[in-house]
A and B are shown apart, each in its own frame.
Chain A
Amino acid sequence: MTPRSADRPRPGQSQPILSGAQPARCLVLWFPAWSVRAWSLAEGQPIDVPLATVAANRITACSAAAVAEGVVIGQRRREAQSRCPTLQVIASDEARDVREFEPVVACIEELSPGVQVLRPGQCVVRARGLANYLGSEAEAAETLLEAVVTRLGIPDGRVGIADGRFAAAQAARAGNPVRIVPAGESAGFLAPLPISRLADEGLSTLLPRLGVHTLGDFAALSADSVRDRFGTQGLRLHTFASGLDPSTVQPRTPPPELTRRLHFEPALNLVEQVAFSARATAEDFIAGLNAVGLVCTELRVELVGERDELVARNWLAAGVFDAGAVIDRVRWQLQAAAGRQLGSGVVNLLLEPIAVDAQGFHMPGLFGSGPDERVHHVLSRVQGMLGHTGVLTAEVGGGRWLAERQVLVPWSDRPQSEAPRQRPWPGRVPDPLPATVFSETRPVRLLGGSGRPVALNSRGAVTDPPVALEVEGGRRTVIGWAGPWPIDERPWDADRHRVANRFQVVDGSGTAWLLLLDERGWWAEARYD
């Protein structure tokens, strides 16, 4: 995976030049309906069923099965569904398209450097080098397609080779799977194609009304009159139609490899051994990021055991990761997993930046960065002493039980309370809240006048008014009490179903208690002190 802000392929920049120079030979690799293919790759779903991606209620791409049922691009979603009732509609997601195209680009880059991504699903390379190396252009096209099929399992690629990018892209659309337009014949190849292939909304509606229906007709117009009528954009499209596409392939810079892997041979069994051996890798990992002006703010650590157990976790830093912090995360992850998820020695370690940020945003100021930066340093140090969960910050979440409502988050982790606090939570304790909340309820005994524990009858009333409370090894008289307040939580979920009755009790020393009565007996949930 590539980090979010790493190099993206740059959009094609082309400068119209009016010389009659023959454009360079280009090879365009095109995958029809890439959005659908990307979804299938991301979700691991089959693609041989009717599928379509939709943006703004219009079909943007559809699978071959959907085309066979009469779904076409640009159709309204409702209309497509009426033609093909089994159509599975997917929201289009450009980020997913780009992400899934990345391995394809990397695969092509291994064979031929200098790949330019035109858009997700379509990329272009210079044909000359690869063709010279392999013997012929046909051989080059076959090799690329074969590599994509065998390594990535994507069968429906198409290749077009022609003079210039535009002609090659059109050849790829005509390819089945390969279409090679010989040098100098691009104009002839383009001539019968419809004007709509220029992908310019204004021209493709206006030119047919003027009697210009094909690219050949458009190319036959003189360049001067096209410029007078349609300006520079029209002139640029005119050169496309004439097979004189002047734009050159602008190869992307491959993103630097920021992920670091470490293999242990033989497998390491002690946490400290792993931490010690990984130090150089962690330093290299941070140095690699710094070399491209980045810092890591979210890190993924993957550990693989001898028996193929995978222990993976994403870690957040309150500031940025340095080598020591990375090693701490590796150590904590190992300590947490040892004996449970990981029952054997560690053989592989992977450090991967999930989120990166430009270094400039994280430079300390000339006079330090204020108190919070120092707080972070010290708390990280204490975390190093006690472990990741040793230092906590708190927030208040939702729930009915006091211990459940206080959500404790390890320092530098992202707070995530699953139950939102804003909901009403009937049955929660009313204000004022107890200042002492036991993280585990403690066993107590509330005794009635008969000396036996107080219980509830079938109507939910106490059998015997409480007179004494046995708590913390002592017996106290009860001078005030109220309850029960019943709570019956999640009766639909057998595992999390909980029934209990709350009581408030004030003992003779003036201390108030929040007690619980459930099927196992009496418990102290909290103390008002």
Chain B
Amino acid sequence: MTLAIDPTREALLQRLRAQAEAPARSRAERCLPVPDAFAKLLPDAGLKQGATYCLGVAGSLLTALLSEPSQAGSWCGVVGMPEFGVEAAQAAGIALDRLVLVPDPGDQWLAVTAALAEVLPVIAVRPGGRVREGDAARLTARLRDRGGVLLVHGDWPRAEARLQLAEPRWAGLGIGHGCLTSREVVATATSKRFAGVRSVRLRLPDPQGRLALAAPVAPVPVRLKAAG
């Protein structure tokens, strides 16, 4: 007696076989999304799960990097940054109901970060002291296990990439008049995964407090005539 094979079942079996044979997961799937502007800077065009990224002290760089994973539904943690601007973070697109702040962990910052790494996919931390190689390696192992990403304000051994903001130029503010409207800045990245420095010109923040690519041509100033 032969078994009658249902065609839908056959298709399912084929799909399962294909999945089993394919390499475990493609590279893009193992990355958390970043804004398009940063995709050109980072080695995998995203935040690689299990990796650590060093950031310059600029707060807007951090909020810009957190915004995309947060909008995609990830929880974010911010450890050791009592001056994190919540309202600017919300304007940049971070969901506040999935944001956890640990402003003053004191000496326990590493233990707190390790605990949070269990569940939070993205953690930003400002180390409260020098980081030892061993501690960093243990934390990295946990991040790799859980698929988390660590963004560090400051230095970290064996970071995946280092991001900085340079050449800031504020628009809107004169000498005694105007108010800040937006900033043009160059984001640079160095990494052990590529040679040299990658850079991209951004508007961060733009007048709405979000991230945008810099307009290629600066607007021509229009002279206003006094009237009346």
CB proximity of B140 to chain A, nearest CB, Å: 19
Could you give, for residues 370-408 of chain A, a 1 whenever the CB lies within 8 Å of some chain B CB and a 0 otherwise? 010011011101100110001111111000001001101
Report whether B167 and A510 are in contact in the complex, using a CB–CB cutoff of 8 Å: yes
Chain A at the B interface: mostly helix, strand, loop or mixed?
mixed
How far apart are the CA atoms of A481 and B209 in the complex, in Å? 20
**Residues on B with beta carbons closer than 8 Å to the beta carbon of A515:** none
Closest B residue, CB atoms, query A442: B83
The number of residue pairs between A and B whose CB atoms lie closer than 8 Å in the complex comes to 158
**Residues on B with beta carbons closer than 8 Å to the beta carbon of A395:** 86, 96
**Residues on B with beta carbons closer than 8 Å to the beta carbon of A529:** 57-60, 165
Q: Is A512 an interface residue (CB 8 A)?
A: yes
Contact of A512 among B170, B176, B209 (CB under 8 A): B170
Contact of B207 among A406, A431, A506, A527 (CB under 8 A): A431
Q: Is B19 an interface residue (CB 8 A)?
A: no
Contact of A526 among B58, B85, B99 (CB under 8 A): B85
How far apart are the CA atoms of A378 and B183 in the complex, in Å? 38
Q: Is A465 an interface residue (CB 8 A)?
A: yes
User: Which of B25-33, B43-51, B102-110 faces chain A?
Assistant: B102-110
Could you give, for residues 153-190 of chain B, a 1 whenever the CB lies within 8 Å of some chain A CB and a 0 otherwise? 00000000000010111100111111111110000000
Report whether A394 and B112 are in contact in the complex, using a CB–CB cutoff of 8 Å: no
**Residues on A with beta carbons closer than 8 Å to the beta carbon of B175:** 465, 480-481
Report whether A394 and B99 are in contact in the complex, using a CB–CB cutoff of 8 Å: yes
Report whether B82 and A439 are in contact in the complex, using a CB–CB cutoff of 8 Å: yes
Count A interface residues, CB 8 Å: 47
**Residues on A with beta carbons closer than 8 Å to the beta carbon of B112:** 382, 385-386
Q: Is A1 an interface residue (CB 8 A)?
A: no
Report whether B75 and A482 are in contact in the complex, using a CB–CB cutoff of 8 Å: no
Closest B residue, CB atoms, query A437: B85
Given A431-B209, A528-B180: A504 and B119 interface contact (C-beta under 8 Å): no
Could you give, for residues 394-433 of chain A, a 1 whenever the CB lies within 8 Å of some chain B CB and a 0 otherwise? 1110000010011010010000000000000000001111
**Residues on A with beta carbons closer than 8 Å to the beta carbon of B82:** 439
Report whether B86 and A432 are in contact in the complex, using a CB–CB cutoff of 8 Å: no
**Residues on B with beta carbons closer than 8 Å to the beta carbon of A382:** 102, 112, 115-116
Q: Is B205 an interface residue (CB 8 A)?
A: yes
Given A433-B85, A526-B85: A482 and B177 interface contact (C-beta under 8 Å): yes
CB under 8 Å from chain A, chain B span 69-100: 75, 82-91, 96-97, 99-100
Could you give, for residues 485-513 of chain A, a 1 whenever the CB lies within 8 Å of some chain B CB and a 0 otherwise? 00000000000000000001010011110
Could you give, for residues 31-70 of chain A, a 1 whenever the CB lies within 8 Å of some chain B CB and a 0 otherwise? 0000000000000000000000000000000000000000
Range, interface on chain B = 35 or more
Q: Is A199 an interface residue (CB 8 A)?
A: no
Report whether A482 and B178 are in contact in the complex, using a CB–CB cutoff of 8 Å: yes
CB proximity of B95 to chain A, nearest CB, Å: 11
Q: Is A435 an interface residue (CB 8 A)?
A: yes
CB under 8 Å from chain B, chain A span 432-446: 432-439
CB proximity of B64 to chain A, nearest CB, Å: 9
Report whether B75 and A371 are in contact in the complex, using a CB–CB cutoff of 8 Å: yes
Report whether A385 and B173 are in contact in the complex, using a CB–CB cutoff of 8 Å: no
How far apart are the CA atoms of A382 and B176 in the complex, in Å? 48
Report whether A392 and B100 are in contact in the complex, using a CB–CB cutoff of 8 Å: yes
Given A375-B119, A393-B99, A529-B60: A434 and B85 interface contact (C-beta under 8 Å): yes
Given A391-B100, A432-B209, A529-B59: A381 and B176 interface contact (C-beta under 8 Å): no
Q: Is B63 an interface residue (CB 8 A)?
A: yes
Contact of B103 among A392, A396, A509, A512 (CB under 8 A): A392
Report whether B87 and A393 are in contact in the complex, using a CB–CB cutoff of 8 Å: no
**Residues on B with beta carbons closer than 8 Å to the beta carbon of A378:** 115-116, 118-120
**Residues on A with beta carbons closer than 8 Å to the beta carbon of B178:** 480, 482
How far apart are the CA atoms of A385 and B90 in the complex, in Å? 28
**Residues on A with beta carbons closer than 8 Å to the beta carbon of B174:** 480, 482
Report whether B120 and A375 are in contact in the complex, using a CB–CB cutoff of 8 Å: yes
**Residues on A with beta carbons closer than 8 Å to the beta carbon of B97:** 393
Given A480-B174, A529-B57: A385 and B111 interface contact (C-beta under 8 Å): yes
List 24 A–B pairs whose Cβ atoms lie within 8 Å, in order of A's numbering.
Answer: A375-B120, A378-B115, A378-B116, A379-B116, A381-B115, A386-B108, A386-B112, A390-B102, A392-B100, A392-B102, A393-B97, A394-B86, A396-B90, A402-B87, A431-B91, A433-B91, A433-B205, A434-B59, A437-B86, A437-B87, A439-B83, A439-B103, A482-B174, A510-B168
13 extra A-B contacts, CB within 8 A, seeds A393-B99, A529-B60: A375-B100, A375-B120, A385-B115, A391-B100, A394-B96, A394-B101, A411-B100, A431-B208, A437-B83, A437-B85, A462-B176, A465-B175, A511-B168
The list of the 10 closest CB pairs from A to B, nearest first, reads A435-B59, A510-B168, A406-B86, A432-B205, A432-B209, A433-B88, A435-B60, A480-B173, A394-B86, A437-B85
